[in-house]
Structure 1
Amino acid sequence: MLKTEQNMGLLAEVTMRHTPGDGVHETAIPGLGLIRQSQPTEPLQILHHPAVCIIAQGEKEVALADLRYCYNPAKYLVVSVDLPLSGQVTKASPELPYLCVRIDLDAAMLASVLTEKGASAIAKGSVERGLFISDMSSDLAGAAIRLVRLLDEPEHIPFLAPLLLREIYYRLLAGEQSGAVRHIATAGSKIHQIGRAIAWIKEHYAQPFSIEVVANEARMSPSAFHHYFREVTAMSPLQYQKQVRLQEARRLMVGGAFDAAAAGYEVGYESPSQFTREYRRLFGAPPVRDVTRLRAQGLDLQTA
């Protein structure tokens, strides 16, 4: 435990060095992002892509539908499919800012590591939630430190970054949540089937759809699909579509190219009043007020 705490302190130091200010800092290492916040934030809804998130300093609360997860340097978070999440930094200050290392998951590389490791197969029909939190280990923290430190020697990134990413994946597969990680890497798993359906919904979110059509994308019966989709995402397919629609409308308005009526129509709402009502229910304020606040505060809709 002491070694893990020491490693997290080192990870905070190197992360601080490469985050000159608040916000999301994409790096020269593909798929590696560093996040810094100098004060607690309000809840911010985003569509979170598959990734491993390691908090080096501070604390955060993440909500998936009605489920809440709190994590800090003693824990790490894994998101295995695209999920509509609400995230809130709960512990941060200018002296000790929130610092997070986000590593996007490469399913092909993870599957390659799984094959070489020779891990046992997952149980047929089993399914895991698309988000989980696990205890941090000194080995995983050490691999994360070495990966971020590569930013100090960019000439070595093309050669060493893939090796360090493979080590991180290996540590995930060897950790206490190895079963959940194997679901991500295993072709034909329920996570993969639901992932296909999610990709279809994201592509066609502005259009009405039937459960039968999306279930066919997942290669499942409608009843099985509805059950497994809720197990993975904690919401129904239609609730998922609604969140994707509203988050995309928010992004369009924050970008400045669309007003509320145009954004609502663009994402599939024919009724402006219904759009405003559902937007307020999800984000806590009507579109104009919410977007004005986001612009004034300079909030990043991609914050992890």
Structure 2
Amino acid sequence: MAVNPLAGLGLGIGWRPEIAGLVTDLPGVRFTEVVAESLRHQGQLPLPLAELRARGVTVVPHGTRLSLGGAEPLDPHRVRQFVAAAATLDAPLVSEHVAFVRAGGLEAGHLLPVPRSREALRVLARNVRTLRAELDAPLALEPIAALFEWPDDEFTEAEFLTELLDRTGAWLLLDIANVYANARNRGADPVDLLDRLPLKRVAYLHVAGGAEHDGLYHDTHTAPTPEPVLALLRQLSARFTAARLAPAMLLERDGDYPPAAQLRAELDAVADAAGLARITPPDAPPDGQVSNTTLAGSR
């Protein structure tokens, strides 16, 4: 199997305009991720993101709207935009979700779970191969956090993902927060899924926080990473260490941004749980001394 292009890059944080300055100011950051659809078609990067690229920071475009799990053919316009984002960033890897976002001409506005059936697997694999044929970079696929499952599944989640990776040659983007959310909502053991997944196919990992509503845990990306997710990350890290694997890891945050010092503290907590080097400044100022420029990156 090919060498993981993100191996050894350590901890990163998702690039968002609201925290662009914070990401730029992290001295140890070696990779980040940007929502592919947020990039302009002309190929011009936002200044803070271009600054990171100039420093040699790896930037992975992360797709959210290709609808790889949809029964309809891929939208050529969206494929071209995704491919252009990868080319603009000279990305060594790109990623998208094992999900669909539209059907019958209607946009869901949300990532929806794919039925774990043989027909759904066939269609998903077809769409992944179509996308890969347009890309110059490898593709990683991320299973989503789902609040429901389709009836009469023909595969377990681990079986479905393993078969998908085998059929397409894609890498796995493993979101440890999604693993926790799905297990908690299904009353299952998250460690059981980890032990059944092909961990050697993991290109990189996501971690994030969520919230409970009406008895279900929602992967919101708007809260600190909870201790149960960090505990699961410790167990996963031990498995990677035993297998001599070193996938990169990325903290996601998509709203309710706290003061910069709190985000740096969360990055430190994730780094410690994953057994990775911290990427934050050693003498970061307290919350009260963090300027708006640090968070917003308005330079």
TM-score over 0.5 (shorter chain): no
Which has the greater radius of gyration?
1
More helix by share: 1
Question: What TM-score does the superposition give when structure 1 sets the normalisation length?
Answer: 0.32
Q: Which has the higher contact order (CA 8 A, sep 6+)?
A: 2
Question: What TM-score does the superposition give when structure 2 sets the normalisation length?
Answer: 0.32
